[in-house]
Amino acid sequence: MLMRFVSDYARYVLKGGPRFYAWMGALSLLILGMLYVFWLQNTEGLIVTGMTSQIHDGLYLANLVFLVGVAAGAVTIVFPAYVYHHEGMHKVTVLGEMLAISAVIMVMVFVFAHMGRPDRLWHMIPPWGIYSFSSMLGWDVLVLNGYLLLNAVVGFWYLYSKYSGKPVNKKLFMALVYVSIVWALSIHTVTAFLLATNPSRPMWFHSMMPIRFIATAFAAGPALIIIAFLVIRRTTRFWIDDSAIQLLTTIVTWCLGIALFLTLSEIVVEFYARTEHANGLYYLMFGLHGLTALVPWFWSAVVLMVAAFVLLLIPAVRHDMNKLPWVCAMAFAGIWIEKGMGLIVPGFIPSPIGEVTEYHPTIFEWMMVLGIWAFGFFILTILLKGAIGILLGEVRFGGQPAAVGAE
């Protein structure tokens, strides 16, 4: 029956209309660009990027850190569904798990993109690698792979039970769900420690980093989920309750507010009695020694996040399903900038010996980033489409999939 499940799932996913094929075709073109850059990096070296000896983490690590938060954000669906038995959330829990799977896969591809020698990846695999349990990087690999496995098992076990009509083993299933909820917090906490345990980088070296990461994760992740849910409502027969979307909107609103408060707190503390340790933040906000490459990034993030927070406080906007996706996109983009380019790069400027070197991503880096995001959305589209088909009953054991599936 398992092979039949895979076969029916694949057949359903491969069927679609012109919009579906156009979407997948566009993503495929971007993926081809990503593969070209990956080949270029592994033949010419990372010299084709804008990264240097002073700034050796740029767009790749920025997106990696951000996507870990997106993956963790899926718990904002799982927790209300299984702990508080929210009916609207329970219907769409598996869709959040599909998003988490896609996000973690993107994280792993960004790891490959950043490695000059992918053949040495085994060094990060506990307990064999030299960077296993003795390094925060080894722990990060462990929690990310564990989270991917948990979501894959829970998500596809649930889908298989719906497909076959056989109930899951509730005790074991719920135990895995509760572990995945706690694990979701661990993946972003460990990623935060990956940065916060660097005393030579004053901008990262503080204990507020984990809570700041979790706050932004629970704003950006649900923001993307809301957009995905509204797209699903408009393009498929699968209806997602307003109650689920409104609960996610509430989570986005207040977590975004907490993230803004933490950012403001950091600014006050760093600038009240400014020392050389505040130079990274000062460079980010105002520039340093005439170098201002990241200043537009920072203020764009502030404008987007503040505007989104204010708009979400307005009931007429918050409850308008036509305006809501635009506001969520603003919040998502603002956090992407603030948590990526606004955190990773300025952590290297100035360097521990006082060098001030700016970072300018090359066209190849942008191609790689767009390609990896396209790869992630390609996987997400396949996962969501198949899951929706099963939830709608169009893919089931002993039945024939519909001629044309959900777009």
Does 402 map to a domain? no
d(CA 117, CA 150) in angstroms, rounded, equals 29
Residue 197 belongs to a domain with what CATH number? 1.20.1630.10
DSSP letters, 73-102, are: TTHHHHHHHHTS--HHHHTTHHHHHHHHHH
Does 66 map to a domain? yes
**In the predicted structure, residue 71 carries a pLDDT above the cut 50:** yes
Domain count, the chain: 1
Cα torsion at 170, 175, 181, 185 (round to 10°)? Answer: -170
Does 7 map to a domain? yes
* Helices assigned H by DSSP within 45-200: 59-72, 75-82, 87-90, 93-114, 136-164, 170-196
Does 404 map to a domain? no
Beta bridge partners of 291: 288
| CA-closest candidate to residue 328, choices 240, 256, 407, 386 | 256
In this prediction, residue 404 has a pLDDT band, given cuts at 50, 70 and 90, of very low
In this prediction, residue 130 has a pLDDT band, given cuts at 50, 70 and 90, of low
pTM above 0.85, yes or no: yes
Does 36 map to a domain? yes
* Lowest-pLDDT range of 226-235, 282-291, 329-338: 282-291
DSSP letters, 5-49, are: HHHHHHHHHH---HHHHHHHHHHHHHHHHHHHHHHHHHHH-GGGS
Residues in the chain: 407
Q: What is the mean pLDDT of residues 177-181?
A: 91
Q: Provide the pLDDT for residue 33.
A: 95
In this prediction, residue 106 has a pLDDT band, given cuts at 50, 70 and 90, of very high
**Among residues of the chain, what percentage have pLDDT more than 70?**
95
Cα torsion at 194, 197, 198, 201 (round to 10°)? Answer: 100
Does 405 map to a domain? no
Residues 165, 167, 168, CA angle at the centre, nearest 5°?
130
Count CB neighbours of 110 within 10 A: 25
**What domain range is 325 assigned to?**
2-391
Does 360 map to a domain? yes
b/e sequence 335-357, b meaning 16+ C-beta within 10 Å: bbbbbbbbbbbbbbbbeeeeeee
Does 87 map to a domain? yes
Q: What is the mean pLDDT of residues 274-302?
A: 86
